[in-house]
Amino acid sequence: MERTIRILVQTTTPGASDDWSVESLSLLAGHLASLEENGTRFEVTARNRESGSSGGDPVLSSLERSGFDEIWLFALDTGGGLTHSDCEGITRFRQRGGGILAARDHQDMGISLCTLGGIGAAHHFQTKNPETDPDRLTPDDRETPSITWPNYHSGKNGDFQRITRVEPSHPLLRNPASPSGWIEFFPSHPHEGAVDAPAGEEARVIATGTSMTTGRPFNLAVAFESRNENGNRLGRGVAESSFHHFADYNWDTSRGHPSFVTEPEGEGMKNEPRALADIRRYVRNLAFWLAPDASREK
């Protein structure tokens, strides 16, 4: 049976020529659009935030009425990236079974996710919903003083990090082509954000990384399979510690970066084919797993 799964790749900021934007995620969008297995294909729409006459984004605020099956939401703002009407539209979308991936980055980048219930509560920032361990409320990455906590240093942009699966291993991390049968590598980034499974949600951490600075473990991804108060399944969700797991620059540094990025680059993704293969497989797994029931992989 043929099926088309429609994915919205969306940022919480307007497009800008010298900043992170949906244009910085073109390799991700292209890879999603190239997937086709057993009659299932993916149609991808990639867009930056726009403000309608009421202030809300016209697509996000009516997302439940759209034809999309998934939203991959990249929170690149430092406040005001999602309006009340945007959050209501995304919440109704999840209530009707739509899947959500929500990614942010260091410190308060992506803080508008705090206004989004459920998956938003998985994200810890500096000025809102900070991590509960007071020992973690301090800089981890110390090479870029202008960026402070949470800012877990998993390696240089352009390098890869070795991830640790949280048992029981989640199907999102399967990779039949890997020697171990599992995804082992994610792209690294000098200052990742903080995520955790929020209380009261059917959610769990599925992968952790290790700081190159302090040796401290930190969470990379949280997977949600929640029910509403009536016991009905909501759409699946994943909270990611950093959008850099998916950014063009972190898959291929030759794609370039905004001028404010000054950290030295690595070449691990270029020199280790398994690292790029792993993140591409992870994207493939997410695309199938987040889709409504008819196409879910168990």
Q: What is the pLDDT at residue 232?
A: 78
Which whole number is the average pLDDT over 183-198?
A: 98
Q: What is the pLDDT at residue 227?
A: 78
pLDDT beyond 90 at 233: no
Lowest mean pLDDT across 77-91, 128-142, 181-195, 282-296: 282-296
Is the Cβ–Cβ distance between 97 and 233 less than 8 Å? yes
Which whole number is the average pLDDT over 292-298?
A: 56
Q: Is the peptide bond before 150 cis (omega within 30 degrees of 0)?
A: yes
- What are the C-alpha distances in Å from 192 to residues 125, 178, 209, 213? 11, 25, 10, 12
Which whole number is the average pLDDT over 217-239?
A: 90
pLDDT beyond 50 at 296: no
pLDDT beyond 90 at 81: yes
DSSP letters, 92-109, are: HHHHTT-EEEEE--STTT
pLDDT in tens, 192-223: 999 999 998 999 999 999 999 999 999 999 99
With CA atoms as reference, report the closest residue to 20 among 106, 99, 144.
106
pLDDT beyond 80 at 231: no
Separation CA 201–CA 280 (nearest Å): 28
Sole residue written with tokens 């500096």: 126
pLDDT in tens, 15-43: 999 999 999 999 999 999 999 999 999 99
pLDDT in tens, 144-164: 999 999 999 999 999 999 999
Q: What is the pLDDT at residue 158?
A: 98
Mean pLDDT, the chain, as a whole number? 95
pLDDT beyond 90 at 68: yes
Tokens linked to 206: 């599925």
Q: What is the pLDDT at residue 298?
A: 39
Q: What is the pLDDT at residue 297?
A: 46
Which whole number is the average pLDDT over 48-67?
A: 94
Q: What is the pLDDT at residue 26?
A: 98
Q: Which domains does the chain have, with CATH numbers?
A: 3-295 (3.40.50.880)
Q: What is the pLDDT at residue 140?
A: 98
